[in-house]
Structure 1
Amino acid sequence: MSTPLALDVDSGLLDVSGRRVRPAVVWVRHGSACALMAQARPAGSMNPLRAESWSGFLRQVAATADAALPGGTVVGPGQLAQARRLGVRTPRTVVTNDVPAGAREVGAPTLVVKTPDFRLFEPDRRNWKAALPSVVGLEAVEQGPGPAPGVAGERPVVVQEYVPHARELRVYHLDGGICAFEVRKPDPSSPMTDPDSVTVTRVDCPPPAAEAVRTLCTAWNLRYGAFDLLVSDTGEAVFLEANPDGDWLWFERKARWHGVSFMAAVMVRELFVRSTS
């Protein structure tokens, strides 16, 4: 970045090309060093030191603001353990680089094998195939030649119980407000491999799903989050993941409804008014 920037840690003032401002609301998205390196253009232009320096700078700017988004939460499968302790149902999950062993540990007849957020850290679509989520049977995994195709010991993956369900939801939490979409897809990898086969519909959030989202956001002090949930045949909400950096524009375009963008703008405005009043 060629723009001169300087943050006075003592006063909290941010100097941008000679203009001093006091950050009131800061929303850092995809600001980790790994994400900055992966998304840099041209590819390879961001080395680890530069990426970590910018990531640290963004974290420090957010720390000086009165309101910082998205909020605090553990990221990754550790969310599931915390959710269970809060009374929210989750699928049995193992993180492993030995898929057959992980499948036996989970013990479910049908499993989901996935690499969370792989698109953020692997911008080259030609390398996505090995990371695409898949539904596999326990017997097929055990009879295979080794760990799941494409991931044979090279990195840990998530091996998860497949939960039969009536509905799949993407639920957005925005400072207390909730927006929900119902997602129908022929395969877990369809959004990446065949997006035209995926249908997204704006729906009212079922009360059990809304309660689960609010419970987790309260526990995690999370102002914003994109939640993936299932609804069982009995109406019970099953929590899969909360992404504090989750995007919404793709879902809005598919559903032809732009309420999340409106609520995001309202949220930032209200946070600004609160922090400056």
Structure 2
Amino acid sequence: MAMAEPAVVLFDGAGGAELTGVRDMVTGAFSTPAITVGAGDGPLSLDVDSGTLTDGDRRVRPAVVWTRHRAPGTLVAHARPAGSMSALAASAWADFLGEVCAAATTTLPGTAPAGTAQVRSAGRLGVRVPRTVLSTDVAAAARQLGTDRVMVKIPDFRLAEPDPRSWAPHLPVVLDAPAVQDSGGHPVVVQEYVAHVRELRVYYLNGTLCAFDVGKRNPAATWTDPASVSVARTDCPGAAAVVVRALAAAWGLRYAAFDLLVTGTGEVVFLEANPDGDWLWYERRARWHGVTFLAAVMLRELFDAAR
């Protein structure tokens, strides 16, 4: 049997096209062996002893593995047709992907605190963050924060609910503290509203930064009125670059999408870092496709180092 060739292995459990574009570029422009695998695709097998992955009639040795959205709940929610994957099957797929990562020389995106643990960690590292409360009672949380305005959100609601027709109750919203709303019976994130002059989306790609200025009327506009949202490619401000690099290093990230605010005094406020953050929508709005290109460059460099 022929030896397995080293290759880049890509997986996206939410059905996004980000990694498809990167695969096409890395195999075409950069002549790098790469495959995409999907939950439910087959036949797939992993030889645990040799670390060889067999995809149909192709055998590869995972040199670099980049997985996005591989949590079991996401796999269940995004399985097609809807309802076709059980919780048990999703757990088995998540475990399988974990084993593929364990067989690889290099994995992406890397580690990072989950949820509001990011805010706590960033604050301890000296980065400004909004005061945050997790609560099933929005009014009580707003009183606890003692601020005039609050942001209420459910992070990653789209991963659990892929049908846009069901998004309305879960969209992020800015509220005046005296006129708050019910949480719907489940915990939500309630944060102090931070006045700002800029909103940035900064992509960290193994040391390289790509930044976009984002302008929107309200925090839900990306989903409710995307045409009204402005996105422009920009140089990453120095203070923002310092924050992104410091957090990526502290959390062991090779890739993440950072959401930041810049106040009128130039202070950078960290909101979150999404290790599975999408980028195609921002590229299309900005008419600049540098994130895809630099992601392919990153994979080629990691592949060369892994070999």
* Alignment TM class, shorter chain as reference: over 0.9
Report the residue type matching 2:105 in the other structure: D
**Structure 1 residues 2 and 195: alpha-carbon distance in aligned structure 2, compared to 1, 3 A threshold:** closer
Confirm or deny: 8 A CA contact 2:46 2:100 kept in the other structure. yes
Confirm or deny: 8 A CA contact 2:210 2:290 kept in the other structure. yes
Q: Partner residue of 2:27?
A: none
Q: Partner residue of 1:256?
A: 287
Distance 2:168 2:41 in 1: 36
Distance 2:96 2:145 in 1: 40
2:204 corresponds to 1:165: no
Q: What SS class does the counterpart of residue 118 from structure 2 fall into?
A: helix
Q: Partner residue of 2:71?
A: 32
Q: Partner residue of 1:176?
A: 207
Q: Partner residue of 2:142?
A: 103
Picking from 266, 269, 274, the partner of 2:300 is: 269
Confirm or deny: 8 A CA contact 1:173 1:225 kept in the other structure. yes
Confirm or deny: 8 A CA contact 1:92 1:161 kept in the other structure. yes
Report the residue type matching 1:217 in the other structure: A
Picking from 54, 61, 64, the partner of 2:93 is: 54
Q: What SS class does the counterpart of residue 70 from structure 2 fall into?
A: coil
Distance 2:173 2:104 in 1: 41
1:11, CA displacement in angstroms?
Answer: 2.1
Confirm or deny: 8 A CA contact 1:75 1:243 kept in the other structure. no
Distance 2:196 2:70 in 1: 34
Unpaired segments ≥5 residues, structure 2: 1-39
- The alignment yields a C-alpha RMSD, in angstroms, of 1.0
TM-score by length of 1: 0.94
Distance 1:108 1:251 in 2: 31
Q: Partner residue of 2:22?
A: none
Alignment of 1:101-250 (within 5 A): 101-141=140-180, 148-149=181-182, 151-153=183-185, 155-250=186-281
Distance 2:169 2:277 in 1: 22
Distance 1:139 1:50 in 2: 45
Confirm or deny: 8 A CA contact 2:129 2:271 kept in the other structure. yes
Distance 2:218 2:131 in 1: 20
Report the residue type matching 2:235 in the other structure: D
Picking from 31, 42, 46, the partner of 1:7 is: 46
Percent identity, please: 59
1:2, CA displacement in angstroms?
Answer: 5.0
1:75, CA displacement in angstroms?
Answer: 1.7
Q: Partner residue of 1:144?
A: none
**Structure 1 residues 244 and 2: alpha-carbon distance in aligned structure 2, compared to 1, 3 A threshold:** closer
Unpaired segments ≥5 residues, structure 1: 142-147
Report the residue type matching 2:296 in the other structure: A
Distance 2:145 2:222 in 1: 26
Per-residue CA deviations over 1:2-21 (Å, capped at 9, x if unaligned) read: 52222122221212235432
Q: Partner residue of 2:82?
A: 43
Distance 1:5 1:85 in 2: 43
Q: What SS class does the counterpart of residue 173 from structure 1 fall into?
A: strand
1:152, CA displacement in angstroms?
Answer: 2.6
Q: What SS class does the counterpart of residue 147 from structure 2 fall into?
A: coil
Distance 2:59 2:220 in 1: 46
Report the residue type matching 2:289 in the other structure: H
Q: What SS class does the counterpart of residue 24 from structure 1 fall into?
A: strand
Q: Partner residue of 1:85?
A: 124
**Structure 1 residues 91 and 11: alpha-carbon distance in aligned structure 2, compared to 1, 3 A threshold:** same
Distance 1:16 1:255 in 2: 36
1:187, CA displacement in angstroms?
Answer: 0.8
1:96, CA displacement in angstroms?
Answer: 1.1
Distance 1:255 1:120 in 2: 24
Confirm or deny: 8 A CA contact 2:139 2:178 kept in the other structure. no
Report the residue type matching 2:221 in the other structure: S
Confirm or deny: 8 A CA contact 2:215 2:230 kept in the other structure. yes
